[in-house]
Structure 1
Amino acid sequence: MSLEPHPARPSVLISAAMSVDGHIDDAAPERLLLSSPEDFDRVDALRAAYDAILVGAGTLRADDPRLEVRDEARRAARVARGLPEHPLKVALVGHGGLAADLRLWQSGGAKLVLAPDAAVAGLRAELGERAEVVGTGAGLDPARVLDALAARGVRRLMVEGGGAIQSLFLTAGLVDEIQLALAPFFVGDAAAPRFAPPVAGAVFPQDAAHRMTLLGAQSLGDLVVLRYAARRADASRVTTADVDRMRLAIELSRECPASETAYSVGAVIVAADGTEIACGFSREGGDDKVHAEESALGKIDLTDPRLRTATIYSTLEPCSVRASRPHPCAELIRAAGIGRVVLAWREPALFVADCQGVELLEQAGATVVEIPALAEEARAVNAHLVSRS
């Protein structure tokens, strides 16, 4: 599949805390504290790493959050990186009725309210200069929410709640990662709000047949924090993060020792949470036969569970046949269980008459995505060979 980079798909993290029986609050008027001081600090560090924090109107009214980065050193580090002190604060609102004295309006940082088109005029009149108000169409379409955020430079979005908002993004298949803090007690109230409650007519793509991948478990006092890679419904879409990673792979390809008989290729393997697992380039380490994908895969434990939801970025279509080694790169990727492959350009018929790397990977069930917008950059590294093909 060949797609231009889509500017409107930031990566999405859902961050939540819940009781053992799945509740994110109780039914009392006062907010139930599920987290520990250590977990609050963890969440603060997460906020500092993201471009925007999103909550629903119910969370605004019930919890009255500021959505700030509390730690002064973290705020200073953001400023040193050329970022505002606080991430963009985003409220997803179905209608008006947001009190003027909410702490969000008095807190620092930019605020954005996203609402159905029919509610925009009323919210603008109600909020005045407190926040920018933008329409999302006839309803609260999460894809259009991401479009609006990407247009404002958001690449990483942290969704903090509440339950209906969690379900909105999860059932749309737009969540990359879930971080869930589990508190060691029961709420025991059927009327209490739950984490990601069912939505009429909607299906969670993370079902029993499509299990999420556990990325880690961390003990924080008497809590445990679980990290899962969620299943995305739009793996074939090119994201801004894909473009960034491919540009890194292109930079790696420039490190390749020169050759008149092989392409210069860079490869990067990235986990679902955005963590770089490994990278490599052609002829790395003085091995004039090693390919970029082979080099990257050779640096990792192939039993790493992250590989099942990882993406490998290669500046050139993975090879389907080769004379120098027993296994071509398409076969190595398939054996590693990597289910998503992003490439910049197809292999021309110079050394191999008809490379079938894409076809082999797709036959094995992998999603293969091309970024034609970066093909010329990847080809330029191999200009001396391209002119011969």
Structure 2
Amino acid sequence: MALPYVLLSAAVSLDGYLDDTGPDRLLLSGPADFDRVDAVRASVDAILIGAGTLRADNPRLLVNSPRRRADRVAAGRPEYPLKVTVSASGALDPEARFWHTGGEKAVYTTDAGAERLRGTAVADAAAVVSLGAVLDWRRLLEHLHDERGVRRLMVEGGGTVHTQLLQRQLADEVQLVLAPLFVGDPRAPRLFGPGAYQGGRLRLVESRSVGDVVLMRYEPTAPGAAGAAVPADRHWLRIACELAARCPPSRTAFSVGAVVVAADGTELARGHSREGGDPVVHAEEAALARIDPADPRLAGATVYSSLEPCARRASRPRPCARLILDAGVRRVVTAWREPDTFVEGADGSAVLAGGGAEVVVLPEFEEAAREPNRHLGAP
């Protein structure tokens, strides 16, 4: 199932706190960063906060700029993004500003929370969606994507929500603002809580000053495990599709890109079809050839290929599915199953599965993977 692009947004003090313990909210950002956040809000389809943030901050979650709202309308979008809150208990204040400003609202809750909200003013102001006996973040995101058309979701807090999304490997990006002050009170709320997070290092995408604060944007890099897809899988498969577009054109072979990534998110190699002047080299073959066969990281690596690795080929003795298995790789993520254009009944996934490898198909990338092959008339 497809999920929205999930962007976590937060501002923290130099010692990692979201707020202090005073009666008023601690303003960590300044006017320049508030305007930046407004621009990000205007770019997304929905904004989500947890019930704790709703109670503590009583936010409106609006796009404040009239120009940005007008641009949304001109582009055929609602004036305001969908506003979403999450509450397992359903204990929500109907007088909160959240319900009385902006456009559409939604509450994601449990069966018990939905029963509590039945017939209340909150249920009149917002769509109430039950996720079952317990809150299930993946199911929530799938519902936003499939039922509400949300492709980009901005999450503005609080710390518990951010922690849960990161620990479940459901966040595509972290936008973290570092404010030049200290809180120093251990009772104050922190951005991230204890627990198991993804392995490896995050990738720093951007770092810049915004007034007197610093914005840092990070992306996860570590692949998923077994058949579960995570945001980093989408990042790497997107790169594989971009590599496919670099292939020298051919009327007799597909254009394919491939990337090999270690379990900690380290890129081991990349390649694309017909690179280096070799008219028959395949993308996975080219990438694997750049890695020492004795590299112990191969056993935990993932191969990302824009097209399903081949099961049979005439130009070389071993097809790419067999090369992957022989290298010790046991996880492959692809965008597109190989059509019968050149090899009838090709089924590289079956070869891989028969060798003990897990194959994950992300169909949302199929169009990008097909694009460099349109001239072949592949179905």
Using the size of structure 2 for normalisation, the TM-score is 0.72
Residue 193 (structure 1) shift: 0.9
Q: Conserved in 2, the CA contact under 8 Å of 1:64 and 1:102?
A: yes
Q: Conserved in 1, the CA contact under 8 Å of 2:12 and 2:191?
A: yes
Residue 135 (structure 1) shift: 1.1
Does 2:345 correspond to 1:345?
A: no
Q: What does residue 379 of structure 1 align with?
A: 339
Residue 29 (structure 1) shift: 2.2
* Residue type of the alignment partner of 1:259: R
* Residue type of the alignment partner of 1:70: N
* SS of 1:170 mapped into structure 2: helix
Q: What does residue 370 of structure 1 align with?
A: 334
Q: What does residue 47 of structure 1 align with?
A: 41
* SS of 2:191 mapped into structure 1: coil
Matches within 5 A, 1:110-189: 110-126=104-120, 127-152=122-147, 153-189=149-185
Q: What does residue 81 of structure 2 align with?
A: 87
Matches within 5 A, 1:7-86: 7=2, 9-86=3-80
Question: Quick one: higher RCO (CA 8 Å, sep 6+), 1 or 2?
Answer: 1
Quick check: 63-72 or 159-168, which moved more? 63-72
Q: How high is the sequence identity, in percent, across the aligned residues?
A: 40
1: distance between equivalents of 2:310 and 2:87? 48
Residue 387 (structure 1) shift: 5.5
1: distance between equivalents of 2:254 and 2:219? 32
* Residue type of the alignment partner of 2:133: A
2: distance between equivalents of 1:103 and 1:94? 20
2: distance between equivalents of 1:362 and 1:85? 54
Residue 290 (structure 1) shift: 8.5
Instruction: Sort the Cα spacing of 1:20 and 1:242 in 2 relative to 1 into closer, same or farther, 3 A.
Output: closer
Q: What does residue 204 of structure 1 align with?
A: 196
Quick check: 156-165 or 80-89, which moved more? 80-89
2: distance between equivalents of 1:80 and 1:356? 48
Query: Could you say what the CA RMSD is over the residues aligned between the two structures, in angstroms?
Result: 4.0
| Structure 1 unaligned blocks of 5 or more | 1-5, 272-278, 294-317, 320-327
Q: What does residue 315 of structure 1 align with?
A: none
Instruction: Sort the Cα spacing of 1:102 and 1:242 in 2 relative to 1 into closer, same or farther, 3 A.
Output: same
Q: What does residue 301 of structure 1 align with?
A: none
Q: What does residue 370 of structure 2 align with?
A: none
Instruction: Sort the Cα spacing of 1:59 and 1:135 in 2 relative to 1 into closer, same or farther, 3 A.
Output: same
Q: Conserved in 2, the CA contact under 8 Å of 1:13 and 1:179?
A: yes
Q: What does residue 289 of structure 1 align with?
A: 279
1:138-192 Cα deviation digits (max 9, x unpaired): 2222222222222222232221101111111122222222111010001122211
Q: Conserved in 2, the CA contact under 8 Å of 1:53 and 1:159?
A: yes
* Residue type of the alignment partner of 1:138: A
1:256-279 Cα deviation digits (max 9, x unpaired): 63434xx1214488x9xxxxxxx9
Q: Which residue, 94, 103, 106 being the options, matches 1:100?
A: 94
Instruction: Sort the Cα spacing of 1:231 and 1:37 in 2 relative to 1 into closer, same or farther, 3 A.
Output: same
Instruction: Sort the Cα spacing of 1:258 and 1:56 in 2 relative to 1 into closer, same or farther, 3 A.
Output: same
* SS of 1:150 mapped into structure 2: helix
Residue 364 (structure 1) shift: 6.7
* Residue type of the alignment partner of 2:81: P
* Residue type of the alignment partner of 2:204: L
| Structure 2 unaligned blocks of 5 or more | 262-269, 347-379
1: distance between equivalents of 2:87 and 2:117? 9
Q: Conserved in 1, the CA contact under 8 Å of 2:243 and 2:257?
A: no
Q: Conserved in 2, the CA contact under 8 Å of 1:206 and 1:231?
A: no
Residue 359 (structure 1) shift: 5.0
Q: Which residue, 251, 264, 270 being the options, matches 1:259?
A: 251
Q: What does residue 222 of structure 1 align with?
A: 212
Instruction: Sort the Cα spacing of 1:54 and 1:359 in 2 relative to 1 into closer, same or farther, 3 A.
Output: farther
Residue 15 (structure 1) shift: 0.7
Q: Which residue, 340, 344, 354 being the options, matches 2:318?
A: 354
Q: What does residue 368 of structure 2 align with?
A: none
* SS of 2:160 mapped into structure 1: helix
1:51-102 Cα deviation digits (max 9, x unpaired): 2211011111111112222223333333343322222211011223322222
Q: Conserved in 2, the CA contact under 8 Å of 1:17 and 1:34?
A: yes
2: distance between equivalents of 1:65 and 1:227? 24
